[in-house]
Amino acid sequence: MRVLVTGASGYIGRALAGALAARGDEVVTVTHRPPLPGQVGVNLGERRLDTSRMPAGRLGEVDTAVHLAGTPIVARWTSRRREEIRASRIALGDILARALVSLEPPPGVLVTGSAIGYYGERGEEELDEGSPPGNGFLAEVCRAWEDAATPAREAGIRVVALRTGVVLGQCGGALGPQLPIFRLGLGGRLGAGRQWTSWVSLADEVRMILFALDTASVSGPINATSPNPVRNAELAAALGRALHKSAPFAVPPLVLELALGRGPAREMLLVSQRVRPARLEQAGFRFEHPDVERAIAAALGRPTLPS
């Protein structure tokens, strides 16, 4: 297949591009930087893709597309940062969807990113893909991110919205900034630690995207999370055990709010989201890392037993 990918230089995008290439697919990357030969650029001002560095100046036939681009959200949400977060996901998503519709023939499927931030703060409530959206900045961004694919959906392209949880993997992801702290024996829960954390291993995240591309029966939103969410305190304890360190500490909410701001702290670190991947399970997806201990071991580069 010839796959158009936005966000191919990001944490998930790099892993996906490698997996696509390994199985023989051709990856065409879309970049917000000045494109190199063989890359597609983005002209946000003119709301179009820049194909000037492609052969013959055109995109050519595309079989599938994946939209993973997005300015990192782990930062203070200044007005400028909020606009960058929106534009990199929503404006680019709309540009991509309209570009795909204009192709002849159009691709068969578009997998667009989203996140479990869609659900907002939900406490103890069990959530599946049919649960209504929540409130807050991230919930608003995720709704608009998914809606940006509407032109493709209306044109008959199969659209899958990937509501991704906390990604656990090597060389980055959610564990990246925590590992040095936990290795010093200074790790622990965030706040009370009672909040539900819905997570996914990087390997399973990539496999979910490939599954969505290849499985014609999968469409609409899918929760890209493990079937076994854990409370934040359980996640901290599991990481401590994997590193042979205790994780006795707790970071007070006020400290998190002072570091990142009230919005990011509450919507990313203290939020409780107990999410179930109902549609993936119904479609027959098999998890490589269904439990958090297995996922952490894989992220640390340690062998795990088959599921």
* Residue ranges covered by each domain of the chain: 2-299
Q: Which of 154-168, 235-249, 267-281 has the lowest mean pLDDT?
A: 235-249
Contact status, residue 158 vs residue 195, Cβ threshold 8 Å: no
Q: What is the pLDDT of residues 32-49, one digit of tens each?
A: 999 999 999 999 889 999
Average pLDDT, the chain: 95
Nearest in space to 275 (alpha carbons), one of 145, 67, 66, 123? 123
**Contacts of residue 282, Cβ cutoff 8 Å, sequence gap at least 6:** none
pTM of the model: 0.95
**Preceding amide of 105 cis, omega within 30:** yes
The residues with which 251 forms a beta bridge, in sequence order, are 190
Taking 60 as the threshold, does the pLDDT of residue 142 lie above it? yes
Distance CA 48, CA 108 (A): 20
Q: Which CATH number fits domain 2-299: 3.40.50.720, 3.30.70.150, 3.40.190.10, 3.40.50.300?
A: 3.40.50.720
Lookup result for tokens 């179930």: 276
Q: Which of 171-180, 230-239, 286-295 has the lowest mean pLDDT?
A: 171-180
Q: What is the pLDDT of residues 223-268, one digit of tens each?
A: 999 999 999 999 999 999 999 998 889 999 999 999 999 999 999 9
Query: In the prediction, which pLDDT does 44 show?
Result: 86
Contact status, residue 101 vs residue 152, Cβ threshold 8 Å: yes
